[in-house]
């Protein structure tokens, strides 16, 4: 399986936000548009984010700038690490993330992580924050390309979830009602002697 850190870049220079050209140089991604999304995130004790690949629309590169604990190093005991997953083949032939993360990055203040958004490949999660007193703070978002990445319709985690949801709305096969034992007979007796109503 490919190493999950391929394409992952970290920086300790929060005053030097990467330009579009810099992002392309670091990640090897396609040409980017001027569209950039941004969100602020606070994960308190118990907060986490399940495994996903970030593929929605034309997202091309994910970024995370960590803002927790400016005066102290983040302790592993606080949890909240960015967890990265290697891939394995599923029974359906589509790649899927391994059950456990293969690498993790602590949310160190002032560090920035960049990685290419790849349908069915760029799986990551945020481990549970274990400290009630130390929230995990970050600014994260995406640099966009002109079009969705190749394979987004088939292999992205969102597409797979939508396909499962659609399939679950299909009519169900109605099973016959269970038989009842004759009055006074137990289910075991009814099964052995055929005493059904």
Report the C-alpha gap between 115 and 65 in whole angstroms. Answer: 12
- Characterise 54 by phi-psi region: left (phi > 0), alpha (psi -120 to 50), beta (else): left
Q: What is the mean pLDDT of the chain?
A: 82
Report the C-alpha gap between 100 and 124 in whole angstroms. Answer: 10
pLDDT, position 192: 63
Name, in order, each residue with C-beta under 8 angstroms of 94's C-beta and a sequence gap of 6 or more.
Answer: 120, 154, 155, 160
pLDDT exceeds 90 at position 189 = no
pLDDT exceeds 60 at position 56 = yes
Report the C-alpha gap between 57 and 176 in whole angstroms. Answer: 44
pLDDT, position 14: 47
Report residue 95's pLDDT band, with 50, 70 and 90 as the boundaries.
confident
Q: Name the H helices within the chain.
A: 20-27, 152-155, 157-168, 187-193
Q: What is the mean pLDDT of residues 172-196?
A: 65
pLDDT exceeds 50 at position 2 = no
Report the C-alpha gap between 137 and 73 in whole angstroms. Answer: 13
Q: Tokens representing 119?
A: 């349908």
Report the C-alpha gap between 40 and 54 in whole angstroms. Answer: 16
pLDDT exceeds 70 at position 170 = no
- pLDDT tens, position by position, 127-139: 999 999 999 999 9
pLDDT exceeds 80 at position 88 = yes
Rg (CA), the chain: 24
Give the Cβ contact number of residue 22 at 10 Å: 13
- Find the angle CA(159)-CA(165)-CA(167) to the nearest 5 degrees: 105
CA proximity to 7, closest of 31, 32, 24: 24
Strand ranges for the chain from DSSP E: 9-11, 32-43, 49-52, 59-66, 82-84, 87-89, 95-97, 103-105, 112-116, 124-126, 136-145
Helices (H) and strands (E) in the chain, counts: 4, 11
pLDDT exceeds 60 at position 141 = yes
Report residue 79's pLDDT band, with 50, 70 and 90 as the boundaries.
very high
3-class state of residue 22 by DSSP: helix
- pLDDT tens, position by position, 13-55: 444 556 888 888 888 889 999 999 999 999 999 999 999 999 8
């Amino acid at each position: 399986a490919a190493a999950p850190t391929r394409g992952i870049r970290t920086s300790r220079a929060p005053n030097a936000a990467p330009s579009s050209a810099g992002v392309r140089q670091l990640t090897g991604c396609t040409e980017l548009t001027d569209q950039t999304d941004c969100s602020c995130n606070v994960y308190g004790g118990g907060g986490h984010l399940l495994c996903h690949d970030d593929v929605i629309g034309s997202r091309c590169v994910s970024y995370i700038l960590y803002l927790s604990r400016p005066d102290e190093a983040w302790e592993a005991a606080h949890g909240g690490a960015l967890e990265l997953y290697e891939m394995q083949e599923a029974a359906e032939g589509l790649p899927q993330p391994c059950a456990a993360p293969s690498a993790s990055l602590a949310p160190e203040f002032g560090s920035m992580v960049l990685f290419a958004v790849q349908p069915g490949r760029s799986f990551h999660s945020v481990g549970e924050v274990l400290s009630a007193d130390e929230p995990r703070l970050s600014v994260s978002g995406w640099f966009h390309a002109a079009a969705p990445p190749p394979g987004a319709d088939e292999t992205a985690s969102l597409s797979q979830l939508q396909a499962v949801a659609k399939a679950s709305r299909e009519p169900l096969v109605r099973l016959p009602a269970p038989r009842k034992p004759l009055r006074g007979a137990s289910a075991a007796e009814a099964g052995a002697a055929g005493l059904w109503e």
